Amino acid sequence: MTTAIAGDRLKQRFDKWDVNGDGVLERADFEREAERIVGAFGQSMSSAEGQAMLKALTGLFEYEANEAGVGPNGSINEEQFRSVNEKLIFTDGEATFNRVLRPVMKAVVGLCDSDHNGMIDQQEFAAYLQAIGVDRAQAQSAFQQIDTIGDGQLSVDELLAAVRNFHFGKLDVNLLG
State the nearest-atom distance from the C-beta of 117 to Ca ion, in Å: 4
Dihedral sign for Cα 31, 11, 156, 171, please. Answer: positive
Rounded Cα gap, residues 76 and 64, in angstroms: 8
The DSSP output letter for 138 is G
Phi/psi at 29 (nearest 5 deg)?
Answer: -60, -40
**Per-residue x/- mask for Ca ion, residues 117 to 146, rule CB under 5 A?**
x-x---------------------------
State the nearest-atom distance from the C-beta of 119 to Ca ion, in Å: 5
| Candidate ranges 6-14, 24-32, 41-49, 140-148; the one touching Ca ion (CB under 5 A) | 24-32
Closer residue to Ca ion, CB minimum distance, 153 or 168: 153
Residue 116 has a CB neighbour count (10 Å cut-off) of 7
State the nearest-atom distance from the C-beta of 113 to Ca ion, in Å: 4
| Candidate ranges 32-40, 49-57, 111-119, 131-139; the one touching Ca ion (CB under 5 A) | 111-119
Give how far Cα 57 sits from Cα of 34, 62, 73, 117, 147, Å: 7, 9, 14, 23, 25
Residues that bind Ca ion (CB under 5 A): 18, 20, 22, 29, 113, 115, 117, 119
